[in-house]
Structure 1
Amino acid sequence: MNPHDSLISLLGRGPDPEQLRHVHTIPARQAVHSPWPDWVHPDLVAAYGSLGIHEPFRHQVDAADLAHRGIHTVVATGTASGKSLAYQLPALDAIHRSELRVLAEPGKIHDDGAVTLYLSPTKALAADQLNAIRALQLPTVRAETYDGDTDPAARRWIRDHANFILANPDMLHFGILPNHAWWASFFRRLRYVIVDEAHSYRGVFGSHVANLMRRLRRICAYYGAGRTFPEPVFIAASATASEPDVSFSRLIGAPVTAVSHDCSPHGSTTVAFWEPALTEARGENGAPQRRTAVAETADLLANLVSARIRTIAFIKSRRGAETISSITKRLLDEVDPSLPQRVAAYRSGYLPEERRQVERSLRAGELLGVSSTSALELGIDISGLDAVLVAGWPGTRASLFQQIGRAGRAGQDAVAAFVASDDPLDTYLVNHPEAIFDVSVEATVFDPANPYVLGPHLCAAAAELPLGPAELDLFGSTAESLLDRLVAQGYLRRRPAGWFWTHSQSAAGMVNLRADGGGPVSIVDAETGSLLGTMDSPQTHYQAHTGAVYVHQGDTYVVEDLNEDDHCVMVRRANPDYYTTARDVTQIEVLETQRTMQWGGVTVHFGDVKVTTQVVSFQRKALISNEVLGEEPLDLGARDLFTKAVWFVVDNRSLTGAGLIEAQFPGALHAAEHAAIGLLPLVASSDRWDIGGVSTALHADTGVPTIFVYDGHPGGAGFAERGFDKAKVWLAATRDAIKACECDSGCPSCVQSPKCGNKNNPLDKAAAVTLLDVLLRHATDSPAAATAPAPTPTGSSAGL
């Protein structure tokens, strides 16, 4: 490593700062071109030529050829590799030729028309794609967005006349499929379905979208009987991912071919691995505190903006994005009063006009710095950026590569910094860059068979068209038993022809694609009565309880009242020098064991559990130092979660034989549980907030010391099962991360958790390493050793 020859000094801390742990250089890549395919209409070639695209990249041609031949295709290449052209070519060619036939023979009825449905996870990405398609200025292409922001007066015209419709999964679910009869003409002509940023469909959201794709294919088949092509071709654009063909095949329920060789050019990127320094402050149990990733990233962003370097800072949380923006503006105001207005925050929950304004200002170069959640990680076309900051691990290697790939898109060399937060995984990765760059990217994890997801989608499908027995294979092997339960619960009625929706409520309303339970909650300014934004209901006990700090566009509010009955949170403007974190207490009950592995005296299980959680208090913590300023109790109800878990069972003799005494068991188990939760994203495409854990020296269902790690979503999200499959790798990394931490007795970088309900007590760092050694002593690499015993429930399962 020689940072003196790199771009590290742009970060403003000199050429060799103490926070720098490693430097990795992603080399520049040269372009490989191919000629335009013979089947592409000359008008399209001319249109792209007018935009300066005179020859496509090889991967664009390969993917477009597959789709043109009727093969479901996923193109999985890096940021700014031109995936859009790969799916635009076959779709726009089909539309253009169809419209030319209509123009050539006016009055004739054509039964081989062509339209395209484009789906993206965000409205911003769809708006960006709309601009790109309109820039081609093809008069035959009538492209329009169809989402929640679309003027109701324009929706009928779009439905009847647009031939390239850009929507999102939410609008497909609520607005299109339930009203498919209105869309009959569109579905009869639907030639291509484009699924952009397909890697973002993971966890429970991915499970919902997978079932939504099956419902879409079912409706397409209904309207496609007798047409010249059997069903539309699905084309996906994805970040680089492990086995993208397998993931996209599971998403749509059909075989897929992948194109993953990236032939686009890119400037070299210098990636800094950055760990904030320890401060004088002491946290819980006297543990040393690092400077927060938020404060550190704000400093770096201020340095880059003051040097007129266009930068995006990414962070997972909405609150973090707002806080980075606020601190950066305050720092810049001391340097140059004209600079704070050139920094903004960007996140979901903003009103549409606020999001569009930030996007326009960023493209135009009016903004020099943006702090954003992953909402700007996706394929929005923003060229000319010179630097990217990533505050805390974004959850997956694919996301990290997407984010750092934002810089250097115009071909220039760029700098990126991964700023570690106080988290075991961040500590591990900032000191082990090979765990990022020398291994394959994660697989996208989701579970379409999750009964809490599949059940409501079966209801929605039956409401759209009665479900016939021949269609059950589309929804998987568990669909029939789930349908029987839905009949017993009164949602469906069984007839010889199939299953019919008979309930009075809206079937689509039973499904919440992006969250679980309760729907969105409105955030309202108590002084003005204006709507500031929204929040998913499950988040409110943690982020919108009375006394919580809420940040919106740099303005800080304190929650005055959480009204769960009216789905409303009242907030009032304030300027606290702290943030808040909620604490909970959790109990777990084993319902059913599905898979088991035996590691000598250690047993590893995977199965169904019931988790009962109650938020009991919240802490105020200093913005800069993380110092705990105070704690207050909360009176909120308990919530039950029926989900999936992996759990490790070890007998007392194995632990005492390793030198532990029983008094050390609780601290060892608790510390190992915290660290394991932090390291699970190393093997599963999750983040820490997707999962939870419980440890106990004597669990009621096992009778011995047990560690549970569970999915934080009803029915599971696939993360715990991935942990079961990769248990040896996962626990070995957990042990290594604890041993490598430079603290004496445990800190947030190894065994402390920011959301621990027991105030991180007891914790025994050294004993946790011994415990993990015991768990790993006879560990096996392959899940092939796992068995699937007959169901042995110890509790009762939840209904839908």
Structure 2
Amino acid sequence: MRALLSQLEREGWYRGQVVRTVEVPPRPAVYAPPPPELPEAAKAWLAVQGLWLFRHQAEAMAAIFAGEDVILATGPSSGKTLAMALPILARLAEDPEGTALLLYPLKALAQDQLGKWQKLGAFLGMDVGGIYDGDTPAHLRPKLRGKARLLLTNPYALHQYLEWHHLWAPFLARLRYVVLDEAHWYQGAFGSGVALLLWRLGRLLRRYGAKPTFVLASATSGDPAGLARALLGREARPITEDGSPQGARTWWFWDPDRDPKASAFAQVVQLARFLLEAGLQTLVFVPSRRMAEALSAAVRAAAPHLGEKIAAYRAGYLPEERRALEAGLREGSLRLVVSTCALELGVDIGGLDAVILMGYPGSLASARQQAGRAGRAGRPALVVYVPEEDPLDSYFLHHPEELVFGPVELPVLNPRHRGLLFRHVLCAAAELPLRPEELGELGVQEEELAPLLKAGPLARTPAGLVYAGRTRAVENAPLDALSSRQVRLLWQGETLEVWDEVRARREAFPGAVLLHQGQPFRVRALDLEAGVAELEEFPEDYTTKAVTTETVRILKPEVQQEGLGFGWVEVREEVRAYKVLSRGRLVEVRPLSLPPVEFQTEGIWLLWPTPWEEPGALHGAEHALVALVPLLVGASAKDVGGISTPHHPDTQKPTILIYEGFPGGIGISRALLSRVGEWVRRTAEHLARCPCEAGCPRCVLSARCGSGNQPMDKGGARAILERWRERYGPVG
């Protein structure tokens, strides 16, 4: 890669943008013999394929054969599918009655993985089955339920089917294994809903006498055992020592500001063309569908002689189009592909020479997954990180080792969220009568359900609590929303997504531009009473940001220490206007008139003992702390809000309060509490490293700020964070 960098430095357009390089040494494979329980037919398949088991694969197989619940958390292309599929299919081949249920977070991923399971099943003499989801033709469903040994689906579909479990009785009664692939996706509101979905599945399985083994596969996680515990409600054995080989990997950290005359987009076009012409098969990850199409077109224009070797890949393509693109990458006929995160997950595309990350993808787990697409099969590889104008993106430009080697964020989910939990209680009561001891599994006291019993959706019978609502319980319990009031995003009569009302007020206001699977839409109308936001396609290159003002009261502190507090808060948010931006630049501010949002959630607050701190310093520190939340927990900066004041009425001190943007919270503040000292330290260090003088979008300026980023004092922000560290650092 040094020769390649020297070649780049001779390019006329290059301005020294590679400001840091980080070398990751190669990692040799660590092999282990197959577990003795592996049948001879399975060993024969390994021999035919010329495969030796890596240590983590053999360890996972032994645990699965022993009936242990397992979470396998290793890197990309480490053979997690084989580690699950071989023992499960081998056992099912020996047990003609047994079945298995495989859950994938995305339909496209289930389609990709089905072929792998079918090929291995065919060698072992077993007809695997197929996919059962909303796209499965109605006439095929009875046969799949009745005869399939193995079914692939997704949590959204399973959520709908559990009420009709009597149709699934033969399959469920014989269930031996439940697989959750890409388990790191199950975080936040979605992960909390999936955890409750699995609890509902578990009580049905007890009804049918099934006791399956749960097998989870995940990208590298900050706490795989904790993630499994939160999802399953019980312990699972974590397997994290990756025995697969990895070739040497070089990271280039690219500073677009080295060429102020060219945008980051234009620089990535030149960089992609350079790598393409240098013979490196390259994958570029971008944040949206629109950018995938625009960037691939721009590279084709820059290298017209290679146009047929360049393509875009995104959700929304027909399955046969996606399969053709994936085959082109595997076979090498495609040399450069620009993709959204659709290629981040376990779709088989073979090994690539280079990956460009255009912007930080939101989590270290995702960044490592995307980077792991390069250098497969032990070959050397290049990863280029190109930050956008964002504090978190900028942080990693100045702290490259943390992006490459740093600890992965803690997973955050809260299955005990009361609003979400009670909606799943209603779903469970619609599936089977609920008994008091089952409520105890959720930590719910029966008296907490009195409002539901009084209002009518829940009724008491001799068999237990049953659902008595007029509509299906699942219709009022979307998996990925916490609020009981929902807003459907409608386009041409089709529901694209369902959001909770709090999020809809912030992001689906009239005139807002939003992305669905990378495709831009504009909100034409928002009717909160009907719970509908009407969308229209929006071809213009604009984005929008709500301008909000917040007031936050502390209701019930659970932790009160010198300099630090944590507990329940009440938030009142008002969206008074929104900004229209073009490529990050402000075009105009348009007024809005929406009723305020009020909700209770969890928050964490920092205090200073002085009678007064400059408002600009507190304001800058608040923005920087919010921006770096995703460094520590599996959440987006959009999932939290903040206020700062020289004198908060509930603390009587200068205060910065960071709160969760979800009614009831999902555990972000609690996770931050456990790492607050590190959070403050890393934020102060980032402010020290940012080269600007008065503040910029890479450190303290925020497009979400309701006061126009005024007052603002970057130097003061760094100073008060340093003082907090010096005085209270041991607290964190």
> What is the TM-score with the length of structure 1 in the denominator?
0.83
- Provide Cα deviations, 1:386-423, integer angstroms capped at 9, x if missing partner: 22122222233222211111111233211112222222
Work out which of the residue numbers 633, 643, 658 in structure 2 matches 1:684.
633
Work out which of the residue numbers 175, 197, 209 in structure 1 matches 2:194.
209
| d(CA) in 2 for partners of 1:606, 1:120 | 36
Q: Which residue of 2 aligns with 1:222?
A: 207
Query: Is 1:569 matched with 2:534?
Result: yes
Work out which of the residue numbers 602, 605, 629 in structure 1 matches 2:587.
629
Work out which of the residue numbers 706, 717, 724 in structure 1 matches 2:666.
717
Q: Which residue of 1 aligns with 2:470?
A: 504
Work out which of the residue numbers 59, 74, 85 in structure 1 matches 2:71.
74
Work out which of the residue numbers 12, 17, 20 in structure 2 matches 1:19.
17
Residue 639 of structure 1: how far off its partner (Å): 3.4
Structure 2 residue runs of 5 or longer lacking an equivalent are none
Asked if 1 retains the 8 angstrom alpha-carbon contact of 2:552 and 2:643, the reply is: no
Work out which of the residue numbers 548, 556, 565 in structure 2 matches 1:585.
548
| d(CA) in 1 for partners of 2:487, 2:142 | 27
Q: Which amino acid aligns with 1:590?
A: R
| d(CA) in 1 for partners of 2:441, 2:349 | 39
Query: CA 1:775–1:494 in structure 2 vs 1: closer, same or farther (change >3 Å)?
Result: farther
Work out which of the residue numbers 119, 122, 130 in structure 2 matches 1:135.
119
Q: Which residue of 1 aligns with 2:417?
A: 450
Query: Is 1:261 matched with 2:219?
Result: no
Residue 555 of structure 1: how far off its partner (Å): 8.3
Query: Is 1:120 matched with 2:104?
Result: yes
Query: CA 1:279–1:776 in structure 2 vs 1: closer, same or farther (change >3 Å)?
Result: same
| d(CA) in 1 for partners of 2:464, 2:517 | 51
| d(CA) in 1 for partners of 2:223, 2:694 | 41
The range that moved more, 262-271 or 513-522, is 513-522
Work out which of the residue numbers 461, 465, 480 in structure 2 matches 1:514.
480
Q: Which residue of 2 aligns with 1:616?
A: 576
Query: CA 1:292–1:179 in structure 2 vs 1: closer, same or farther (change >3 Å)?
Result: farther
Q: Which amino acid aligns with 2:534?
A: V
For residues 330-369 of structure 1, the aligned pairs below 5 Å read: 330-336=298-304, 339=307, 342-347=310-315, 359=326, 362-363=329-330, 365=332, 367-369=334-336
Structure 1 residue runs of 5 or longer lacking an equivalent are 100-112, 225-229, 282-290, 784-800
Q: Which amino acid aligns with 2:225?
A: D
Q: Which residue of 1 aligns with 2:148?
A: 162
| d(CA) in 1 for partners of 2:252, 2:330 | 26
| d(CA) in 1 for partners of 2:619, 2:637 | 16
Residue 358 of structure 1: how far off its partner (Å): 5.1
Give the match's secondary structure for 2:601. strand
For residues 224-243 of structure 1, the aligned pairs below 5 Å read: 224=209, 231-243=211-223
| d(CA) in 2 for partners of 1:59, 1:568 | 47
Asked if 1 retains the 8 angstrom alpha-carbon contact of 2:574 and 2:597, the reply is: yes
Q: Which amino acid aligns with 1:205?
A: F
Residue 548 of structure 1: how far off its partner (Å): 4.8
For residues 446-525 of structure 1, the aligned pairs below 5 Å read: 446-475=413-442, 477-478=443-444, 480=446, 482-494=448-460, 498-516=464-482, 517-524=485-492
Query: CA 1:767–1:513 in structure 2 vs 1: closer, same or farther (change >3 Å)?
Result: same
Q: Which residue of 1 aligns with 2:172?
A: 187
Query: Is 1:744 matched with 2:729?
Result: no
| d(CA) in 1 for partners of 2:514, 2:100 | 41
Query: CA 1:45–1:453 in structure 2 vs 1: closer, same or farther (change >3 Å)?
Result: same
Query: CA 1:62–1:710 in structure 2 vs 1: closer, same or farther (change >3 Å)?
Result: same
Give the match's secondary structure for 1:180. helix
Provide the alpha-carbon RMSD of the alignment: 3.2
Query: Is 1:277 matched with 2:235?
Result: no
Q: Which residue of 2 aligns with 1:787?
A: none
Query: CA 1:334–1:637 in structure 2 vs 1: closer, same or farther (change >3 Å)?
Result: farther
The range that moved more, 369-378 or 503-512, is 369-378
Query: Is 1:174 matched with 2:141?
Result: no
Asked if 1 retains the 8 angstrom alpha-carbon contact of 2:515 and 2:521, the reply is: yes
Residue 436 of structure 1: how far off its partner (Å): 3.5
Work out which of the residue numbers 25, 35, 42 in structure 1 matches 2:40.
42
Work out which of the residue numbers 71, 89, 92 in structure 2 matches 1:92.
89
Aligned residues: 726
Asked if 1 retains the 8 angstrom alpha-carbon contact of 2:640 and 2:660, the reply is: yes
Give the match's secondary structure for 1:471. helix
Q: Which amino acid aligns with 2:353?
A: D
Query: Is 1:245 matched with 2:225?
Result: yes
Q: Which residue of 2 aligns with 1:388?
A: 355
Q: Which residue of 2 aligns with 1:401?
A: 368
Give the match's secondary structure for 1:612. strand
The range that moved more, 767-776 or 211-220, is 767-776
Query: CA 1:328–1:613 in structure 2 vs 1: closer, same or farther (change >3 Å)?
Result: farther
Q: Which residue of 2 aligns with 1:63?
A: 60
Give the match's secondary structure for 2:234. coil
Q: Which amino acid aligns with 1:164?
A: L
Query: CA 1:36–1:774 in structure 2 vs 1: closer, same or farther (change >3 Å)?
Result: closer
Q: Which amino acid aligns with 2:187?
A: R
- Provide Cα deviations, 1:303-331, integer angstroms capped at 9, x if missing partner: 4345553333334x4xx342243134134
| d(CA) in 2 for partners of 1:566, 1:724 | 35
Query: Is 1:596 matched with 2:559?
Result: yes
Asked if 2 retains the 8 angstrom alpha-carbon contact of 1:4 and 1:15, the reply is: no
Query: CA 1:672–1:556 in structure 2 vs 1: closer, same or farther (change >3 Å)?
Result: closer
- Provide Cα deviations, 1:483-538, integer angstroms capped at 9, x if missing partner: 345335443234565432222222222221124553541334xxxx9x79657576
